[in-house]
Amino acid sequence: MLRAYDRLAMTAAEKHQAARTSTSVPPPVAGRCPPPRGGARLNGRAGIRDVAAAAGVSITTVSDALNGKGRLPDATRSHVREVAERLGYRPSAAARTLRTGKSGLIGLTVTTYGEEPFTFTEFAYFAEMAAAATSAALARGYALVILPAPARSGPAGGGGPDVWSNVALDGTVVVDPSAQDPIVSELLRSGLPVVSDGRPSDSLPVAAWVDNDHEAAVRGILDHLAESGARRIGLLTGTSTDTYTRLSTTAYLDWCERVGQEPVYERYPAHDPCAGAVAADRLLARPDRPDAVYGLFDPNGTDLLAAARRYGLRVPEDLLLVCCSESPAYATTAPPITTLSLKPGRIGNAVTQLLIDAIEGLAPARPVQRVMPTELIVRTSSRRGSARTTVSAPRAPASE
């Protein structure tokens, strides 16, 4: 059996050799081929042709053997694999991508403010979300590339060459897409699957989106504060028009109207960390000072705590505090601060799974809309009177 195979292999090798020689150097034609074309180009590494020659088979057979396709006896398959291993053969990702049209790369982009490639005020959220997305992508054989959004929407344009056109993507995750983002519309026009983190505008026909139920989260927090004895609840919110800010603020105003409380809120540009401290101060300096505050952004907790100290307000006796944050640091502040976690890890995972489903054609016809729950981690800053334990925080950074 093996002997028969060996004879076959020899014959094939001879034939191949003959064909190769007579083809690559057609005697009468002028001398071209600056490199002898038989040696190793490819920057010194072996190509599929070298493997084929060394194994005494054709290129097709090498490709089939390594990719588990075609009809090949196990003897040939293992022989080719062995030779490829010996030569240290690594297939060229670029060539494969060109031929198959699939690169195994998915993009991740997010609206930017200023120089940072992603929103600084949501750094913890984004870091955790991106980490989960990276994990999920790798687990399914994809790699994740972080790409910049266009610098603001000004005429300046991003500095340097366009990175977007230099990477072959199979699909893209977009965080908090805006309706007029040229990148997103370009992606959609080109037919690439796009999945968004955050409810997109109706005019963006993304394949799927994932978002928290921000309205329900805000209602839950306000109810919780009211149950803890708050009479006038204030809000620290942003001036940006992204979905998160808009939905949360609207939910706050609706809640106020429903329970008959006059809204008490301050807005500030959320991308400016200093403005947050100033806004926290403003909120507590008002004549109609609230006795509870919910802050929409991560640094609001420490800012509000500092402002409360300046005004001599005790937390939680004089002021109840909740903020939206992913930082475990709020478990160890004095006092520990109740936080709303958006569970970015879950979102990053979900959004990646949906994108890869869409890439691999597993997607349903209609766009998938998935709403993920948030988690309220109740700590001292929002407990007053009877310590009513609702949800306890993990004592160490959650391993998600």
Partner DNA sequence: GCTGTGTGCAGGCACGGTTCTGCACGAACC
Partner DNA sequence: GGTTCGTGCAGAACCGTGCCTGCACACAGC
81 binds DNA (CB under 7 A): no
Element (H, E) at 221: helix 214-227
125 binds its own copies (CB under 8 A): no
Give the integer Cα–Cα distance in Å for 357 and 229: 47
Residues 6+ apart with CB under 8 A from 86: 54
* Half-sphere exposure in the Cβ direction for 306 (13 Å, CA): 13
In the complex, the smallest distance separating the C-beta of residue 56 from its own copies, rounded to whole angstroms, is 24
Q: Tell which positions 271-310 bind its own copies, by CB under 8 A.
A: 273-274, 276-277, 299, 302, 305-306
Give the integer Cα–Cα distance in Å for 145 and 128: 15
161 binds its own copies (CB under 8 A): yes
Q: Residue 190 touches which of DNA, its own copies, none (CB < 5 to 8 A by kind)?
A: its own copies
Neighbours of 90 (CB within 10 A): 11
166 binds DNA (CB under 7 A): no
12 binds DNA (CB under 7 A): yes
From candidates 7, 10, 37, 257, binder to DNA by CB under 7 A: 37
71 binds DNA (CB under 7 A): yes
Under 8 Å between Cβ of 239 and 270: yes
Give the integer Cα–Cα distance in Å for 295 and 61: 63
From candidates 25, 38, 54, 63, binder to DNA by CB under 7 A: 63
362 binds its own copies (CB under 8 A): no
First and final C-alpha spacing in the chain = 55
Give the integer Cα–Cα distance in Å for 381 and 374: 19
Which parts of 260-299 fold into alpha helices (H)?
Answer: 273-285
Question: Which residue's CB is nearer to its own copies, number 128 or number 211?
Answer: 128
Give the integer Cα–Cα distance in Å for 294 and 389: 19
Instruction: Provide the binding-site residues for DNA, judged by CB under 7 A.
Output: 5, 8-9, 12, 15-16, 19, 23, 32-35, 37, 41-43, 47-49, 56-61, 63-64, 66-67, 69-73, 76, 89-92, 95-96, 98-100
Instruction: Provide the binding-site residues for its own copies, judged by CB under 8 A.
Output: 43-45, 88, 90-98, 101, 103-105, 115-118, 120, 123, 127, 131, 134-135, 138-148, 159-161, 163, 165-168, 189-191, 273-274, 276-277, 299, 302, 305-306, 327-334, 395-397, 399
